[in-house]
Structure 1
Amino acid sequence: MRRALYIGRFQPFHLGHYKAIEWILSREDEVIVGIGSAQVSFEPRNPFTAGERALMIWSTLRGSGMIEKVIVIMIPDTISEHSKWVCNVRTFSPSFQVAYTNDELSRMLLEASGIPVEEIPFFDREKYSGTRIRQLMAQRNPAWRALVPVQTAEVIDAINGEERVHRLYKLAGLV
């Protein structure tokens, strides 16, 4: 059985991420979804906690029937100590045979440690962008709801996430 690793910040988990997991599972038996920057939250770029992001992912994948083939884990950053990041990945993750990422730094670090890396096709990247979704939320524009799974929107609503993003952007002078 082959198990793959897919790392992202998932701020928030959107339909592009969902399609990426579907695509990986069409090639691999299982996928580990690694929530990167797990220790960071309540920032404009990272407004949601690791637990909130895990709930977004779990709720969505449970509803799709994919959850039996997915393991959700948290991976904290190593704050500019890139050589330690892959050690964190290996420590916090079950074993895997291949990693999937389109992030060039992650690719370089994983490959330098001998981990095979594959790219994921982008699924309407301009539309499904965490940055764009957070900007819409900061503007209180309900268009963000069409870009995330229903279950993700439900988690965001339950934590008053749109208001949180708006306030974080306002504090940072971004709206």
Structure 2
Amino acid sequence: MDPDTLGFDIQDTQAYAAFTEDSPSLLMTATTVPDLQGKSYMAFKLTAQDWTKIELMKDVLQEPANAQQTFSATHEPTVWRTIPVLEFLQETWENMAESLKFSSVSSSIHLGINNLHKWYCKVDNTDTYFICLVLDPTYKLAYAKDKWEARYYNAGTMEWLPHPLLLQMQYQFERVQNVNLTP
């Protein structure tokens, strides 16, 4: 995937040139903005620092755009991806919030993390996502065991491993593996 999926480099746009301190333009010489209570265009002038902050927010918002693409870029069921994608997005934003580069927007990143947490709790309140992750033959319980704290892993497995459907699926999977491993 192209790392610049939002489709533009802010500093290469006409808007950047028109609204920075360094480059006055015809737009900047206008004295009023129609229907905005007589304000001038100069009232909306962005500094180079403002554009830097916009560029940082573009980088932050690229992460959920990439996450969304993992769901829409395939014609196969993707429910099993929900937990890993949400956890990866949260981890990425947490790293960004702690990074010196993103310090000027870290409070906004934390608001995004809080919102993401709200949606993760909704996933946590529904068994479907965990079951689909466990039933995926690629992941099974390995993802949860590797990524989750022991108390969350134990709670999930204690609740669902005795489930008859999971026991049957696990038995069938192990049986197929044993048949394939036998010479």
TM-score normalized with structure 1 length: 0.24
Return the index of the structure with the highest Cα Rg.
2
- Higher-RCO chain (CA-CA 8 Å, sequence separation at least 6): 1
Kindly indicate which of the two structures has a greater share of residues assigned to strand: 1
